[in-house]
Amino acid sequence: MTSSSPPLPPLLCPLLPPSPLPKPASASASTAPFAFSPPSSILIIGSGVFGLGTAWALARRPAFSQCSITVVDRSNPSQSRSDVFPAPDAASVDTSRIIRADYYDAAYAALAAEAQVQWREHAKPTDLGAQGRYNESGLVLVADSPHGTAVPPSPPGAETAVAQHAALTKKKTGMDYARGSWANVLSLASNDPSLTGRIHELPNAAAIRDAVGTGGGSGSWGYINEASGWADAGASMAWLVDRVQDTGRVKFVAATALALEHQGTTVTGAKLSDGRVLSADLVVVAAGAWTGGLIDLAGQATATGQVLGYLDITEAEQEQLGRMPALLNLTTGLFVIPPAKRVLKVARHAYGYLNPTTLATAPLPSSPAGSASALAFSHPLTHLSDPSLAIPKEGADDLRRALGEMVPLPNLQDRPFSKTRLCWYMDTPTADFLIDYHPNFQGLFVATGGSGHAFKFMPVIGDKIVDCMMHNCPRQFQGKWAWKPVTTTGGTVWSSVVTEDGTRGGTPGLVLADELHDDRP
């Protein structure tokens, strides 16, 4: 920043008057399996970022030194080895994920900045950021002007622009989010000399196009944060599995958890697809988008499918595009990440597709007196359960539009995708995580609701989850991560949760089966 730059704005969390924080469900000691003394055994269902992160933190926490720790998760039936974690259709396994501290909410911005410290470590091969696991390419974060309005000039305090834009609509827009994020990263930079001069406003489409460097761009206003980047998600998860296994404290079980076992109001374990029952004093459900198959989460969270497309590129194209920053449009949700190993990924962070499903085994009801036997909920459908699954044409067309706008290389526009995929989020209404004890069952802790932005927190989220487990939720996330009160009861329809945090593109309420049916000739 130059001497003529405006004063740095304060952190935003949030700018508009906040509503009172809901009382955390775990505030009542009667619903928690222990107060200050750890249980003798913990079963973690799920081996994604939340599940493995929790296992790693527990294994290193002295308070749990006498506690047995077991992780159970689905395995890949197509592989010769059945003990590969996580399953390859999990949201955490992919070619790349954006790593950013660029958040509208200052609490998440600060937590992401904490995680980035570890992402940047690369001196030793075992450091998280080494061996190509993290690449600081920079991130161009942009948005479109709402309702065709002109983007206001940069004000002395960027928070003013956020409030002005928020007033234009009843809900936060992509531009609101971008402006608030810009203010927050500037404030983070004011306390970190290494970030000084690495964040630059891009006041118009021409500036955005110049920063992207592909001849294309997106959005009408934004900024570039050169201190953000992307991670090789698959390699990073393999790194985390190694760290957990290196502790010698965690037992892995390759199986599918079909249902939670309980006696009255106490959850005692999980029944597996092979008939076995794993018992534990505390069960942690961290099954990502599959969590709704084990617990009735009506009104709390729902699974949504997001479209991803991959193109094989030439060595010359890799050389040209490999130096570009990641580009994310918060209005459309469309983004492109720099290619690696001659594969270019384009994707959409959207409201997503719903897949209403009723399983043969009902999930745990919301209360002991309730029933979830007829509950329909959105459940992931992936290439493992249906090898012929392709993304809907609606999504594929949007990805093509992103390529034409963001990476307008002539030879790419008609090149077929080498692979497409549905990545399943577990979305909450506010995109806040759900990390809390179940309010109505003892012995049950839930860590889910990643809402498509949890991966970047991989090196630090496990410790935060264990803090919550020990009734010491970080102050800035109290209420945010709590089990929320809902006005509806068991049997709530699967479409009751719509994420409105200002980052989603696409159309809310799309049903996957309907979109796939419309694609048939």
DSSP labels, 407-425: ---GGGTTPPPSEEEEEEE
State mean pLDDT over 161-176: 60
CA gap 204, 158 in Å, rounded: 16
Where does the pLDDT of residue 198 fall: very low under 50, low under 70, confident under 90, or very high at 90 and above? very high
Across-strand partners of 346? 309, 336
DSSP 121: -
The predicted structure's pLDDT at residue 147:
60
Look at residue 489 and tell me whether its pLDDT is greater than 80: no
Residue 26, pLDDT score:
40
* Mean pLDDT along residues 90-115: 95
Longest dimension (CA), the chain: 68
Q: What is the pLDDT of residue 32?
A: 46
Residue 126's CB is within 10 A of a number of other CB atoms, namely 12
Task: Output the pTM of the full model.
Answer: 0.88
438 vs 483: CA distance, rounded Å = 7
Looking at the DSSP assignment, which residues form a beta bridge with residue 326?
A: 139
Q: Is 357 exposed, middle or buried (0-12, 13-18, 19+ CB in 10 A)?
A: middle
- Listed ranges 166-170, 191-195, 480-484; the one with the highest mean pLDDT: 480-484
pLDDT tens for each residue of 233-243 = 999 999 999 99
Beta-strand pair 444-448/334-340: unpaired
What string of H, E and C letters represents the secondary structure of 198-244? CEEEECCHHHHHHHHCCCCCCCCEEEEECCCEEECHHHHHHHHHHHH
Burial class (CB in 10 A: 0-12, 13-18, 19+), 183: buried
**Closest by Cα among 179, 143, 98, 97 to 332:** 143
- The separation between CA 55 and the C-alpha centre of its own chain, rounded to angstroms, equals 19
In terms of Cα–Cα distance, which of 293, 446, 286 is closest to 380? Answer: 293
Q: Is the pLDDT of residue 2 over 50?
A: no
- Bridge partner list, 445: 284, 437
Q: Count CA within 13 A, CB hemisphere, residue 151.
A: 22
What would the mean pLDDT of 119-148 be, rounded to a whole number? 93
**Does residue 207 register a pLDDT over 80?**
yes
Q: What whole-number distance in Å separates Cα of residue 327 and Cα of residue 226?
A: 12
Q: Are 143 and 177 in contact (CB under 8 A)?
A: yes
Nearest Cα neighbor of 191 from 105, 106, 98, 104 is 106
Residues 515 and 392: beta-carbon distance below 8 Å: yes
Over residues 484-490, the mean pLDDT reads 66
List pLDDT tens digits, range 335-365: 999 999 999 999 999 999 999 998 888 899 9
CB 279 within 8 A of CB 347: no
Residue matched to tokens 């600060």: 110
> Among 143, 142, 120, which residue's Cα sits nearest to residue 133?
120
Question: What are residue 252's phi and psi, to 5 degrees?
Answer: -105, 135
Query: Residue 193: pLDDT above 90?
Result: no
Q: For residue 4, what pLDDT is reported?
A: 37
C-beta neighbour count of 268 within 10 angstroms: 19
SS3 (DSSP) at 130? coil
Q: How would residue 520 be classed by pLDDT, with cut points 50, 70 and 90?
A: low
User: pLDDT (tens digit, 9 = 90+) per residue, 35-49?
Assistant: 568 999 999 999 999
In 3D, which of 350, 338, 340, 327 has the Cα closest to residue 398? 350
Instruction: Specify the residue for token string 């991803």.
Output: 308
Alpha-carbon distances of 254 from 36, 105, 115, 250, 291, rounded to whole Å = 31, 37, 29, 13, 17
In this structure, the strands spanning 221-225 and 199-202 are: antiparallel
pLDDT tens sequence across 363-422: 999 888 776 555 678 999 998 888 889 999 999 999 999 999 999 998 898 999 999 999
Give, in degrees to the nearest 5, the angle at Cα 489 between 433 and 432.
10
Residue reference for tokens 């492109």: 336
| Average pLDDT of the chain, as a whole number | 86
Q: In this model, does residue 20 exceed pLDDT 70?
A: no
